[in-house]
């Protein structure tokens, strides 16, 4: 089985001359590496910022520090979608460097200039790094999906998950280093941005679909030749793109989110990204170190444990996604990921139940019940992080880019990303008050219920897109409801030269 898969992979790689797509995807995903760094930065930074001293006091406002990131992403996602459609995929990706650079520089300069964590500037810096995340989630999967051949599209878009998980792990490892501070950690993402801007400008190209959409036919063909090689029939692929564009133009009055081919995949994409966020991923990433610091047996090593559990398991899950997405398809991975996340949140809820009164001995100050169950949160967080990274971390954005028609793809992915980050902002702002109301176990059982609903949603509504070209996928949403009509067909076999041919009436479905 493995040998057959490997042979098929090598054959597809040779056929599509995939090296240009590979390094284009790696370069574009340097933005995703910054995405992961931005998410993981809060875990090592918040404990330091919460220290009770006048220089870095953030005790009462850490929730704002975390929520500014998805808020920035929510604001920037529609802007990124507009840039994708008006300025092109490549130019939109170049613009992504601006908010990232601005945000990280503000975080560094506020400490160096004032000698303390000046909270307003710190929050603005977090907002801009979040804006970079919104650009990345909107632009990178779409760009890679339009470059990649259909047989390897899942593999290349799967790099998004690996780079995201690697970014989280990288910044958490840097945070463990003795002497690393919240205002020097941004040097790491700034370095990657410098490399990104140079290699993106020098080594990558615009996607052929956007060039064809803007009637730059010759440029689209040259890019296809660069991507696929001279031995591939690029004329056939270009013709498929042209025919799809012509089909969309004939229905242009209805296509702008009024026709089912646009609003239905948009609805599916928004639902997927909302489930992705409401399942609690940002709570786990932002508060991993805080969660483990509350566990008596491992509180002393909370930073190391959170790095291993969240960062390490996320990388493993992303590698699983990278290897299996084109074998098992999008639906199966989403379903399996939803099951793992649902069960792990339920385990976390059980842990909090059995470590609260009356299950703990109220007269026992040693917290032995915490010590005896300390493995439950470790198992839960590892399972959750691995399940998320192997499915819901990447696939919702890929599915949205695959399902949306070319004429509205940029704006549509921007709206999809906006919906997800809006959900994340609301979740982070409401999490602490909500868990105080329903207790931590109630909050995690809520996450478990959300992922159960996500499982049922995927099972009912999400189509499989594995092994289909983008044009083939989109054609499914242009098909009108089938209806029966009667068509007159001449029966030429029985006709005479001087007699009109008899007519046979057939029923057909259109």
Q: What structural domains does the chain harbor?
A: 16-204+251-475 (1.20.1250.20)
**Distance from C-alpha of 360 to C-alpha of 478, rounded to nearest angstrom:** 59
- pLDDT tens readout for residues 374-432: 678 888 888 998 999 999 988 999 999 888 888 788 888 999 999 999 999 998 888 88
Which residue pairs, CB below 8 angstroms and at least 24 apart, start in 100-103? 100/31, 100/34, 100/38, 100/128, 100/129, 100/132, 100/189, 100/193, 101/190, 101/193, 102/128, 103/72, 103/127, 103/128, 103/129, 103/130, 103/131, 103/132
Say which range, 109-123, 130-144, 296-310, 343-357, has the weakest mean pLDDT. 296-310
The pLDDT confidence band at residue 500, using thresholds 50, 70 and 90, is very low
How far lies 300's CA from each of 176, 284, 294, 304, in Å?
A: 13, 19, 10, 9
So what's the pLDDT on residue 94? Answer: 92
- pLDDT tens readout for residues 39-56: 888 777 777 776 644 555
Sorted by sequence, the CB contacts under 8 Å of residue 165 that are 6+ apart come out as 36, 311, 314, 315, 317, 318, 389, 393
So what's the pLDDT on residue 326? Answer: 82
Report, as an integer, the average pLDDT of 140-144.
Answer: 92
Report, as an integer, the average pLDDT of 188-194.
Answer: 92
So what's the pLDDT on residue 67? Answer: 83
Report, as an integer, the average pLDDT of 213-220.
Answer: 87
337's tokens? 């990921």
The proportion of the chain whose per-residue pLDDT surpasses 70, expressed as a percent, equals 77
Report, as an integer, the average pLDDT of 265-276.
Answer: 93
The pLDDT confidence band at residue 60, using thresholds 50, 70 and 90, is low
SS3 state at 484: strand
Location of structure tokens 């444990």: 305
What's the Rg (C-alpha) of the chain?
26
Give yes or no for a contact between 314 and 288, defined as CB atoms under 8 angstroms apart.
no
Location of structure tokens 């930065």: 41
So what's the pLDDT on residue 249? Answer: 57
Q: Is the pLDDT of residue 456 over 80?
A: yes
Output the average pLDDT for the chain: 80
So what's the pLDDT on residue 25? Answer: 92
Say which range, 121-125, 319-323, 407-411, 479-483, has the weakest mean pLDDT. 479-483
């Amino acid at each position: 089985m493995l040998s057959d898969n490997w042979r098929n992979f090598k054959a597809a790689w040779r056929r599509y001359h995939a090296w240009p797509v590979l390094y284009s995807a790696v370069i574009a995903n340097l933005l995703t590496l910054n995405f992961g760094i931005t998410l993981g930065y809060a875990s090592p930074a918040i404990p330091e910022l919460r220290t009770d001293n006048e220089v870095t006091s953030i005790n009462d406002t850490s929730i704002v520090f975390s929520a500014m990131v998805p808020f920035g992403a929510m604001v920037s996602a529609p802007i990124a979608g507009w840039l994708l459609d008006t300025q092109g995929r490549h130019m939109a990706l170049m613009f992504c460097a601006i908010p990232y650079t601005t945000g990280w520089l503000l975080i560094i300069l506020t400490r160096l200039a004032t000698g303390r964590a000046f909270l307003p500037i710190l929050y603005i810096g977090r907002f801009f790094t979040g804006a970079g995340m919104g650009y990345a989630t909107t632009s990178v999967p779409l760009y890679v999906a339009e470059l990649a051949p259909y047989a390897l599209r899942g593999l290349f878009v799967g790099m998004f998950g690996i780079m995201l998980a690697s970014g989280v792990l990288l910044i958490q490892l840097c945070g463990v280093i003795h002497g690393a501070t919240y205002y020097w950690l941004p040097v790491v993402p700034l370095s990657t941005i410098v490399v990104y801007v140079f290699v993106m400008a020098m080594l990558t190209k615009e996607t052929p679909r956007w060039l064809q959409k803007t009637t730059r036919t010759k440029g689209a063909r040259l890019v296809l030749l660069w991507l696929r090689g001279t031995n591939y029939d690029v004329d056939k692929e270009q013709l498929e793109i042209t025919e799809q564009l012509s089909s969309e133009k004939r229905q242009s009055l209805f296509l702008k989110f009024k026709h089912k081919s646009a609003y239905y995949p948009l609805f599916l994409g928004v639902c997927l990204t909302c489930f992705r966020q409401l399942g609690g991923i940002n709570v786990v990433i932002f508060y991993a170190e805080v969660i483990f610091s509350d566990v008596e047996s491992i509180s002393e090593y909370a930073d190391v444990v959170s790095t291993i559990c969240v960062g390490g398991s996320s990388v493993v899950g992303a590698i699983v996604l990278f290897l299996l997405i084109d074998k098992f398809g999008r639906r199966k991975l989403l379903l399996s990921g939803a099951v793992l996340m649902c069960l792990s949140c339920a385990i976390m809820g059980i842990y909090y139940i059995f470590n609260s009164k009356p299950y703990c001995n109220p007269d026992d100050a040693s917290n032995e019940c915490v010590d005896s169950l300390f493995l439950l949160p470790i198992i839960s967080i590892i399972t959750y992080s691995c399940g998320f990274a192997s499915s819901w971390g990447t696939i919702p954005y890929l599915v949205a880019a695959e399902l949306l028609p070319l004429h509205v793809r940029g704006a549509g992915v921007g709206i999809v990303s906006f919906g997800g980050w809006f959900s994340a902002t609301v979740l982070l702002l409401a999490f602490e008050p909500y868990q105080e109301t329903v207790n931590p176990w109630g909050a995690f059982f809520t996450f478990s219920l959300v992922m159960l609903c996500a499982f049922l949603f995927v099972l009912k509504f999400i189509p499989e897109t594995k092994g289909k070209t983008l044009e083939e996928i989109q054609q499914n949403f242009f098909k009108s409801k089938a209806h029966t009509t009667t068509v007159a067909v001449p029966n030429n076999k029985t006709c005479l030269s001087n007699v009109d041919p008899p007519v046979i009436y057939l029923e057909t479905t259109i």
